Each structure stands twice: as structure tokens, then as C-alpha cells.
């Protein structure tokens, strides 16, 4: 990639030397919190792409795919501020301070997040911090993993006669899995669990204890909406073993509900990838 990827330990000096904000130093910049979607660059909104192309500085997360990063303009400084399990390149408080500082210096900032900024993306925290001190903020929604990855796996989130509701859950919370398990175990709904790969035994235990049948269909979707997407189908009971057996990497989305049974018939994306690979090898 030709764009400038700036290391965190010298980011302030490097940004001053290598980038010039589009406004004068006395003018305050603006921050766009932009959802990049679940990975496929063609799922970017037109607005998201325009902001990526026009920003003075891009701060991007770990879930922003290589395909999307390839769209960063070569002349635009780009700083990785991502987080993964047990490893944060920068703390949330330090990131908030960085956004404030760079906006005050006149930078127009594209804060690029995987999925949607307001769905388990801490976009609300960053927006509140900026608005409290008067920085202009705009939110650009993105396709969240729950809808993007399930669509590419051929799993409708709702389906007549199977699911009348859908619930998005994060398995990564401040106080652990402190959830209304009784409500989550009710039938006729789809559960989509973000960041649940390491919590599968707990998820299985709590849902089955609160009344969900252990043979409820379930799926694990890793690297959704990317060529390396992998979908593994089983049941609530078999989820932990399937994850170990297939050595699924993060990010992996957990989907539980009767709609998972539709995946074999609606598996359009894997069919497309296989067809493209066949054409290349022919």
C-alpha cells in the first residue's frame, strides 16, 4: 500500500511533518465516524468512500479489510488504532484525546470503523467526547456484521414462520455475560452474537439452562463477506466443539435460530466464489 501508515509511538511528529490539514491552523477540523461495513469494499456506501477520499487523516480499526484500505488515497496519512482480544494498539481514552487534538489542529478526520459505528463500535463514546467540547461530528452508517455476514452466508435474519424477531448481542461487556437469558432463549427469534467465539461454552450453558433446546440450529461465520469466509453449521450443543474442530479465527459471528436451516439452499456467496475459482483455474 502506498498511503502513509503512521506508527503510534511517533504519530504526532509524523502527522505534522507528512500531512497538512485542509483548513488553516486556526480553524477546527471535523470528524466523520464512518462504518466500513463487514469487509467487502463494494459494500461501502457512496458517502463513506467520498469521505475516505477527501479526509486529511484516516484513523482505522482492525476490522477494516485490506480491500478497503487499498482505497485510501496515497497522499493521506492513515493511522491504525485497532483493538483485538487482549491487545489494544491504543486505549479508548487516548484515542478520544487523539481525535480531539487532531481536530483542534484543523484536520478533517475519517474515523473508519468495521461494520457500523453505533453497533458495538464505541461510536457513541467517541461522538459524545467530541460533541462535549464542540467538535463537529457526523455519523456515516455502515452495514453491520449481523446483516452483512448472514446475508453472505445465506441466512435470513427473519423469515416467515421461523423468526419474527432478531436480537444483536455482544459477548464482550464490562460485566461479562450479564444478559436476560430467559428472554434470549425464547423461540421464534434469531440471536446474533458478536465477539462470542471464546464464550461459546458459556453461551451454550446459559441458553440451554433457560429453556432453549440444545438441538436448535446454529452457525459460526468467520471472515464474513470476504473471499476467505467460512460458515460452519451445527446446533447450540455442538458450537464449542465446531469452533475447535475448524480452528475458526476471529472475527467470528455466532447465529442461533431456525433460520440457520435455510443456509444450504441459500448459500449463494460460496457458490459464487467456487465458480470464480473454477474460471481462474480453467
User: What pLDDT, in 10s, does the model give residues 168-202?
Assistant: 999 987 666 889 999 999 999 999 999 999 999 99
Which of 38-52, 83-97, 155-169 has the weakest average pLDDT?
A: 83-97
Q: 149: burial class by Cβ within 10 Å (0-12, 13-18, 19+)?
A: buried
- Domain boundary residue among 112, 143, 174? 143
d(CA 139, CA 35): 8
| Same domain? 139 vs 177 | no
Residue where a domain stops, chosen among 143, 170, 190: 143
**Mean pLDDT computed over 118-128:** 96
**Count of domains forming the chain:** 2
User: 3-class SS at 164?
Assistant: coil
State the pLDDT at residue 273.
Answer: 83
Integer Cα distance of 112 and 18 in angstroms: 20
**Domain end marker among 115, 143, 171:** 143
**114 and 42 share one domain:** yes
Residue 191 domain boundaries = 146-269
Is 116 an annotated catalytic residue? no
* Joined grid coordinates for residue 65: 479489510
Within-domain flag for 186: yes
CA distances from 144 to 34, 37, 62, 72, 91 (A): 12, 6, 15, 21, 23
Which among 4, 40, 56, 61 is annotated as catalytic? 61
Spatial separation of the C-alpha atoms in residues 191 and 162, rounded to whole Å: 12
Lowest mean pLDDT among 12-16, 30-34, 49-53: 12-16
Give the pLDDT mean for 21-31.
75
Q: What is the pLDDT of residues 54-108, one digit of tens each?
A: 999 999 999 999 999 999 999 999 999 997 665 657 999 999 999 999 999 999 9
Distances (CA, A) of 60 to 4, 83, 117, 182, 190: 13, 10, 12, 37, 30
Same domain for 173 and 110: no
pLDDT of residue 26: 55
Q: Which three cell numbers stand for residue 194?
A: 458478536
- The question of whether 61 is a catalytic residue gets the answer yes
Whether 133 and 34 map to the same domain: the answer is yes
Amino acid at each position: 500500500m502506498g498511503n502513509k501508515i503512521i506508527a503510534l509511538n511517533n504519530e504526532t511528529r509524523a502527522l505534522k511533518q507528512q500531512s497538512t490539514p485542509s483548513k488553516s491552523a486556526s480553524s477546527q477540523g471535523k470528524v466523520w465516524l464512518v462504518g466500513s461495513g463487514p469487509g467487502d469494499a463494494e459494500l461501502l456506501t457512496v458517502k463513506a468512500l467520498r469521505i475516505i477520499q477527501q479526509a486529511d487523516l484516516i484513523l482505522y480499526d482492525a476490522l477494516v479489510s485490506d480491500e478497503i484500505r487499498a482505497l485510501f488515497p496515497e497522499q493521506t496519512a492513515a493511522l491504525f488504532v485497532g483493538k483485538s482480544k487482549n491487545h489494544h494498539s491504543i486505549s479508548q481514552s487516548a484515542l478520544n484525546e487523539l481525535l480531539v487534538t487532531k481536530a483542534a489542529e484543523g484536520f478533517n478526520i475519517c474515523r473508519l470503523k468495521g461494520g457500523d459505528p453505533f453497533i458495538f463500535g464505541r461510536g457513541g463514546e467517541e461522538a459524545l467526547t467530541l460533541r462535549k467540547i464542540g467538535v463537529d461530528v457526523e455519523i456515516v452508517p455502515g452495514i453491520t456484521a449481523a446483516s452483512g455476514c448472514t446475508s453472505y452466508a445465506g441466512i435470513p435474519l427473519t423469515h416467515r414462520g421461523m423468526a419474527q424477531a432478531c436480537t444483536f448481542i455482544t459477548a464482550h461487556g464490562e460485566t461479562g455475560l450479564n444478559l436476560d437469558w430467559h428472554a434470549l432463549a425464547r423461540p421464534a427469534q434469531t440471536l446474533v452474537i458478536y465477539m462470542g467465539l471464546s464464550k461459546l461454552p458459556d453461551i451454550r450453558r446459559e441458553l440451554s439452562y433457560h429453556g432453549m433446546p440444545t438441538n436448535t440450529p446454529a452457525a459460526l461465520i468467520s471472515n464474513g463477506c470476504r473471499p476467505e469466509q467460512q460458515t460452519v453449521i451445527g446446533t447450540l450443543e455442538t458450537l464449542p466443539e465446531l469452533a475447535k474442530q475448524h480452528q475458526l479465527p476471529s472475527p467470528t459471528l455466532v447465529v442461533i435460530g431456525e433460520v440457520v436451516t435455510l443456509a444450504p439452499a441459500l448459500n449463494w456467496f460460496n457458490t459464487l466464489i467456487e465458480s470464480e475459482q473454477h474460471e481462474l483455474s480453467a
